[in-house]
């Protein structure tokens, strides 16, 4: 005979399975479970070696499509990261209460025979609140936000390059 404990375990198992099925069916994924790129052609990477560059490099290596310029179908060249931080709202005491971070990364894509395919600038903006009484915590939050933005813009660039490469 089933006791209450076994019945609860069965109900919990069914609920967990239903939730997992629902989440996987809607396309939800754990952050970082995918490189965010459908780029599949042999790619060379050039330009300024900053955090976004290294993130794209890591993703291309993981997919085993990072090659030298002589072997590549396309060459992705990145310019430097350009950050901007501006206040978007102020508190009653005329201090910044909310900031907006903007990250711009210019890039170009050329073909194997050095013909330009595209030149664009990827842009990403995020806002966060600032509390003068918790400056240390908000500084950590800004650093974390910057790292997330660098990962997100790397994925954005890879998706855009993938779309451009698919049209070639």
| pLDDT, tens digit (0-9, with 9 covering 90-100), for 102-148 | 999 999 999 988 899 999 999 999 998 877 777 677 788 899 999 99
CA nearest 125: which of 106, 104, 98, 111? Answer: 104
Residue 155 carries which DSSP code? H
Whether residue 80 sits in one domain with residue 56: yes
State pLDDT tens for residues 15-38.
Answer: 787 777 776 666 555 555 454 556
Q: Are residues 65 and 38 in contact, defined by beta-carbon separation less than 8 angstroms?
A: no
CA nearest 107: which of 34, 39, 156? Answer: 156
Whether residue 65 sits in one domain with residue 3: no
Q: Are residues 43 and 66 in contact, defined by beta-carbon separation less than 8 angstroms?
A: yes
State pLDDT tens for residues 36-93.
Answer: 556 788 999 999 999 999 999 999 999 999 999 899 999 999 999 999 999 888 877 7
How many domains, the chain? 2
Whether residue 57 sits in one domain with residue 10: no
Whether residue 160 sits in one domain with residue 105: yes
Whether residue 82 sits in one domain with residue 6: no
* Spacing of C-alpha 127 from chain mean position: 16
Where do we find the tokens 């931080």?
85
Whether residue 94 sits in one domain with residue 15: no
Predicted TM-score (pTM) of this structure: 0.73
- Residue 68 is part of a domain; what is its CATH number? 3.30.160.150
Question: What is the domain range of residue 6?
Answer: 1-30
Strand duo 74-90 + 96-111: pairing: antiparallel
Measured at the CA of 47, the angle between CA 46 and CA 52, to 5 degrees, comes to 95
54 three-state secondary structure? helix
Whether residue 59 sits in one domain with residue 134: yes
Q: Are residues 63 and 37 in contact, defined by beta-carbon separation less than 8 angstroms?
A: yes
Whether residue 56 sits in one domain with residue 20: no
Whether residue 157 sits in one domain with residue 77: yes
Whether residue 63 sits in one domain with residue 129: yes
Whether residue 72 sits in one domain with residue 132: yes
Whether residue 110 sits in one domain with residue 68: yes
């Amino acid at each position: 005979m089933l006791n209450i404990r076994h019945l609860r375990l069965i109900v919990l198992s069914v609920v967990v399975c239903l939730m997992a099925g629902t989440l996987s069916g809607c396309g939800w994924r754990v952050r970082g479970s995918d490189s965010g790129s459908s780029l599949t052609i042999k790619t060379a990477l050039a330009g300024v070696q900053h955090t976004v560059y290294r993130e794209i490099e890591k993703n291309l290596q993981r997919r085993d499509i990072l090659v030298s310029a002589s072997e590549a179908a396309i060459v992705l060249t990145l310019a430097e990261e350009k950050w901007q931080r501006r206040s978007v709202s102020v508190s009653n005491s005329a201090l910044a209460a909310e900031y907006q971070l903007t990250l711009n990364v210019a890039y170009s894509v050329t073909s194997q025979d050095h013909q330009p395919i595209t030149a664009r600038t990827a842009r990403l903006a995020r806002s966060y609140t600032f509390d003068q009484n918790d400056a240390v915590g908000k500084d950590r939050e800004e650093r974390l936000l910057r790292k997330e933005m660098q990962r997100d813009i790397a994925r954005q660039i890879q998706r855009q390059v993938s779309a451009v490469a698919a049209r070639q």
